[in-house]
Structure 1
């Protein structure tokens, strides 16, 4: 396991933004169209997540909006294009822009996906699955080490939603993720909707998956909506679409995770067919109620 080292220039600079709590809180994706409603209403209790690639320009309206949010809230920086699982080296220019965002906005949490999306000079608009083999494990760990060394922070790795499996895989997804966390010291981002989607698509139990998932390194949870389609054989196929409320079955899985792991910071993702701010705020409030209940039980147990 590598020891993370921050850059000297980062250590020499004073924080640009105040620190805000994130422990035990629920948050939402930040969408610029919600900015005025957020600023005009009561201050939301939780945090906001931003997609790193939306803020890799030098300035302009996106950064002015993000600065307004970051002044009053913690943020979670979520990357979607690092291509952690690709066999070729990481894009150094992309990593440098990612690092600059970490330094500029001082996010409470930083995350990326267990997936790949690039091949040589081709960029795919998707997060593609990986075969779980020793070769893939070595590549993923090397890339996570490189990212953590660059940003001077612990990276959280998100479990994927998958639609195909590989005959080449030699270990389960949970064992693969456990090995990555052990070798690199990275944290984990548990996407509960991804678990539900993959379980439905491949015919396994999401509860069995979660019972084998390494919860100790989990520092953030994602919840989102999904849609049902049909594959080429007319069988049901779930898509991690982020375009609707969290499904009841996913809420129940989330409750079971929180019962075991406690009130981990939880994010509601909603990235298309985006509703008005009160609808998204209500989803976060539902998650917060579950987190608060778990925190109350933990306090009672500690008092006893």
Structure 2
């Protein structure tokens, strides 16, 4: 099944952070095509902040990227939260909802971090069943994101790419492809980022993330979302666009926020890669 999206294939977006509310509301029309918000940060928010969010959502598509479902966790899914989430997504006409392919809780509650899953058949069955239940509860397909991780859980029965493919197939869901996470993981775990990219099912990619990271050492990168996008990430985005065609792409920046003009300059680089991919498709046709 092909990934679906109400966004144009060459749409470019920014992560919505509260510090950016004012600049984003005042931005020149056409500076960006969509915004991404963590619903946990906005559900139930009223007052001036809630009004500002509603005003932005009335003018720009808002995709939602969840933080707390713990799709791979051992505890039961939070059905009450899923009900609130569905209402939020419906009210704001959210075209895409995504979550992390990870666990962020145990039997006792939230861990406030994204924990990797073991690359095993048992983990595939567990997380796929929870994704299917989430899709039923929300009344929509969701996308899951390949996360950055710093240790692999044993036993490792398959590769990361095989694990992601198996989950997507068994859950019949979409993929949020984070090319920065691929660069980080390929460096830290010693695999080829480009080979990993070619192993992914392009038809399931709903949208793409690009972000910055910190180079701790030649063989260690830390996923921070607190720096400008690096050249290896730009190169991998270019390859993804070549392999899969243009897909809506979002620039993530969580802290060390520069002036909006600097973020928009990075967004222009994203736009250039997507337009080049679209032009290449026309040339082939």
Q: Which SS does the other structure have where 1:213 is aligned?
A: coil
1:98 and 2:110 equivalent?
Answer: no
Q: In the alignment, what sits opposite 2:252?
A: 269
Q: In the alignment, what sits opposite 2:157?
A: 170
1:147 and 2:134 equivalent?
Answer: yes
Q: In the alignment, what sits opposite 1:193?
A: 180
Distance 2:49 2:135 in 1: 26
| 1:202-242 C-alpha deviation (Å, 9 max, x unpaired) | 11111121121222211100000001236xxxx84211100
Q: Which SS does the other structure have where 1:264 is aligned?
A: coil
Matches within 5 A, 1:27-176: 27-43=13-29, 44-176=31-163
Aligned-pair Cα RMSD in Å: 1.8
Distance 1:247 1:27 in 2: 18
Q: Give the alignment's TM-score, normalised by structure 2.
A: 0.93
**5+ unaligned residues in a row in structure 1: which ranges?**
2-18
Task: Using the TM superposition, give the Cα deviation of residue 20 of structure 1 relative to its aligned residue in structure 2, in angstroms.
Answer: 7.3
Q: In the alignment, what sits opposite 1:204?
A: 191
Distance 1:186 1:21 in 2: 17
Structure number with greater Rg is: 1
Task: Using the TM superposition, give the Cα deviation of residue 76 of structure 1 relative to its aligned residue in structure 2, in angstroms.
Answer: 1.0
Q: In the alignment, what sits opposite 2:226?
A: 243
Alignment length (residue pairs): 281
| 1:234-278 C-alpha deviation (Å, 9 max, x unpaired) | x84211100011100110011001001011000000011112211
Q: Which SS does the other structure have where 2:152 is aligned?
A: coil
1:23 and 2:6 equivalent?
Answer: no
| 1:119-138 C-alpha deviation (Å, 9 max, x unpaired) | 12231121010101122111
Contact residue 27 and residue 267 of structure 1 kept, 8 A? yes
Q: Which SS does the other structure have where 1:216 is aligned?
A: helix
Q: Give the alignment's TM-score, normalised by structure 1.
A: 0.88
Distance 1:41 1:132 in 2: 43
From 202, 226, 232, the equivalent of 1:215 is: 202
